[in-house]
Each structure stands twice: as structure tokens, then as C-alpha cells.
Amino acid sequence: MKKGKLVLENGQVYEGFIFGYDHSSSGEVVFNTSLTGYQEILTDPSYYGQIIIMTYPLIGNYGTNETDIESEKVQASGLIAGSYEENWSNHDGLNSLDDYLKKNKVIGISGIDTRALTKMIRSEGAMRGMITGEDIPDKKLTEKVLASPKMSGLDLVKFISSRKNYTLRSGHNDSKGKKAKYKIAVYDFGIKKNILREFLKYDTELKIFNAESDYKEILDYKPDGIFLSNGPGDPEAVVYAIQNTKKLIETNIPVFGICLGHQIISLALGAKTYKLKFGHRGGNHPVKNHLKNKIEITSQNHGFAVDEKTFDPDIVRITHTNLYDNTNEGIRHKKFPVMSVQYHPEASPGPNDSKYLFEEFIGMINK
């Protein structure tokens, strides 16, 4: 395998071996603690602009397929693995991870001490980095990294939201002329396919709207409910979404948000967000549900959080809290039918403890 380097903005350089598409790629370097699910993680649009460290040491051992995907392509800028396994085995598998990354023109690097690298990220915080096979001095590579954009202030949603609106219908209303029981307008800020699959388990028609669609276009659809999806980048930079959400909350139509959608709703309600030191990414995060007084193990992927102290307690009820660092994980509006969570109840990958939230949203629509 060809030798390559991971170069970080703090000047650290890690040498390893290139796999996947051989080119140079920069992004914010973050880590994910999931034990499996690298294909779902790589294709999650929330990872747009990021290079992912997989803390599980062996990556590639079950190859890739056409079902474990969360979007139409790999969205991450790069992948860092402790050990890449070329000899894969999976009854659903079609290609090696190496071939999959080459097809998607995404670079990977292996042979790096991902334990030491993750400990450094935990200590110093997520930072800009570059994976490259270029044989040029480390100093020049570091200068290239420092010239790349920081994540704070970036609106990345506009790069990955669907350009055209489209409609999906569940199998409940396949018969000719039969209308769905629920019409849900979906704001696509970088939506994962499994969120759509969860909604389609109900008798639903989903109309997926581009992230910059005006709130009036949403209302013209006459939805029974409105969903705000996950997505990448700094939530405060997605100004158009915040402004549209303010208008939609006041219509009294039920609103549900996940991850970036939760942050957009919070900002629309007057709260503030801030960048976490190294974020929450993985399938093993404990969250307390205050409404049920239960602990849920959740799937997470976010680098920003809502500042709980900036909520107006007269209008917002805190419903979920992250037990690792006590950051906010969920809210409900005290007047309007609005609910949102910071984590990913649809999982993929991860545990299914929180899938009840889709049913709760349908119940909110029924009321």
C-alpha cells in the first residue's frame, strides 16, 4: 500500500498507508466510537466536511453493500482507521471498503495509532486536518491545513440538501386513489434515509423540501406535521431555516426536529448554540428521558449543542439530558405542539431505544 500522512492544524503528523481514492482531502477531524456501521457513518450527510476517525481498531472486515447507506454517496471527506482489512466477508456484501471509497472518490488512511489520536482530539478538541499521499514537506502540508475553513460559521446545508422537492408514500397507500392518513412536510438539511424509512412505517405521504424552501411553500402543501432533519455545519449559520421555523412554529402544526433540526428549533425559540470541544459521535451515549424517568442508550453525531441556560423556561420544557456531560438532548414547547431531540432515534447505526419518538410525533399529529 502507498504511504501517506494525516496532518493536523496543531502541527502533528501521523504516517500511515493510503486506501480508497488517492488524492488530498481536508476537513474537520472527529472521532466516532461505534463498533460497527462504518458505511452508514460515511454516507451520513451530517459528516459532510469532516474526516472521521473510527475508534474501533479493525475497519473494512465486512465490506460494503447497497442497503447500509444513509444517502446516495459517501459524504465524509476522509476516513482514518487503525487497521484496514482487505479480506472482507458479508452475505450481503458487494465490494471492499477500498473499492467503495475509490468509487466515491474519498480517501482513507490506515496504520495510525487511532487510540493516541483520539486521546489527543479529546484533549485538544476537534481540529482541521488533511489526509494526503503527496510527498511534500510537513511544514507546507500544515500551511495547507491552516488555510482550510473552520467549521464554526459554516453553512454546509446548502451543499447537501436535495435540489428538487420530491414525494414518498408508504405501502399503506399504494392502492390507486387512496390518500395517506398523514401528510408530513420534511425539511431536508441533509436527511438520513433511515429517518424517511421510519416515517414510512406509518400511513404517510412525505414531501421532502429543499432546505431553503420558504415557509409559505410548506404551508401550501397543507401538511399535518412538519419535520426538520439532521445536517452538517454550524446551526447558527443556517439563518434561512431559523427564520422559516419561527413562522412555522406559530401555525400550531406539529413540528418535530432531530439533531440539526433540534438546534434550528431551539434557535427559532430564542436559544443559543455553541461548539462542543470534540462533539458526540457514536452509538453508546446515555441520555436521560425526564418525561419517563428512564435512561436510553442513543446514537449521536453532532459537534454543536444548545445552551440550555438560554431557553425561556416559560415556553420550553427540557425533556432529555446527555449523561456524559449534561448537555441538552431534547425539548418540548409548553404552548405549541413542538418536540425535538439532539440525538438520532432512527439509529443506523446504533441502538433502537428511542424509536418511540416517531410514534409520539404521530400521536401529536392525531391530537
Q: Indicate if 344 belongs to the active site.
A: yes
**Distance between CA atoms of residues 252 and 27, nearest Å:** 40
Which triple of cell numbers denotes residue 300?
449521536
Q: Indicate if 359 belongs to the active site.
A: no
**Distance between CA atoms of residues 205 and 171, nearest Å:** 10
> How many other C-beta atoms are found inside a 10 Å radius of the C-beta of residue 105?
13
Q: What angle do CA 111, 112, 116 make, to 5 degrees?
A: 150
Q: Out of 259, 280, 285, 320, which one is annotated catalytic?
A: 259
Q: Out of 262, 285, 320, 344, which one is annotated catalytic?
A: 344
Angstrom distances, CA of residue 10 to CA of 76, 121, 255, 284, 335: 21, 11, 42, 29, 47
Q: What angle do CA 10, 277, 353 make, to 5 degrees?
A: 135
**Distance between CA atoms of residues 131 and 58, nearest Å:** 19
Q: Kindly state the DSSP code that residue 107 receives in the 8-state scheme.
A: E
First to last CA, the chain: 59
**Distance between CA atoms of residues 53 and 365, nearest Å:** 39
Which triple of cell numbers denotes residue 299?
446514537
Q: Indicate if 259 belongs to the active site.
A: yes
| Spatial CB neighbours of 172, under 8 Å, sequence gap ≥ 6 | 180, 181, 202, 203, 204
Contact predicate 32/54, CB 8 Å: yes
Catalytic residues: 259, 344, 346
